[in-house]
Amino acid sequence: MDALDVALVTALREHPRAGDLELSRRLGIARATVQSRLRKMEEAGVVTGYGPDVDLAAAGHPVLAFVTLEIAQGRLEDVTQELEHLPNVLEAYVTSGQADVVCKIAATSHEDLQDVLLHMSRSGSVVRSTSVIVLSELVAPRVLPMLARDAAPAPRAPGYR
């Protein structure tokens, strides 16, 4: 990604409902450039969607927790299927270290979270789980600062006389 790609993604994050024409005006580039850059980033899998961001607390799920799972040898596929069937599991990652899987879980209450944790503990695939409840958010999910830091300079447009 170059600086223009990062500027385009930044503009989309700040104005998610903006169309190609508005983005081109905000960035001072041609509409065709916006369309071309977005299409290339979509095809490369860099831009993966345009859905709305949802505030889980405002949507009735104010309890957030991270859960680490140690799983039985060779049971990763089973755990994957079990986690996919739990709607409270927002994300799950295979990890290195003592835990095999780290999950991000949202719940309507501490009781709801406890029900999810008990369901996980009853799984024959999970040997041990550890949970940490989130008290507050320090840094919201983000990617733009890293992309901006690593962006190549934007190519110079040809000069016109």
| Amino acid occupying residue 151 | A
What pLDDT does residue 53 have? 86
Query: Residue 161: which pLDDT band, with cuts at 50, 70 and 90?
Result: very low
Tell me the CA distances in angstroms from 13 to 10, 58, 111, 144, one per residue in order: 5, 20, 35, 9
Is the domain spanning 63-133 CATH 3.30.70.920? The answer is yes
Residue with tokens 């991000």: 104
Q: What is the mean pLDDT of residues 147-154?
A: 88
Rounded Cα distance between 59 and 49, Å, is: 21
Q: Are 129 and 105 in contact (CB under 8 A)?
A: no
pLDDT in tens, 81-112: 999 999 999 999 999 999 999 999 999 999 99
pLDDT in tens, 58-68: 999 999 999 99
What pLDDT does residue 157 have? 63
Is 63-133 in the same CATH topology as 3-52? no
Q: How do the domains of the chain map onto residue ranges?
A: 3-52, 63-133
Question: Comparing 152 with 70, which gets the higher pLDDT?
Answer: 70
What pLDDT does residue 9 have? 95
Q: Which CATH number fits domain 3-52: 1.10.3720.10, 1.10.10.10, 3.40.50.300, 3.90.190.20?
A: 1.10.10.10
Percentage of the chain surpassing pLDDT 90?
84
3-state helix, strand, coil in the chain (%, to 5): 40, 20, 40
Threshold 0.75, pTM exceeds: yes
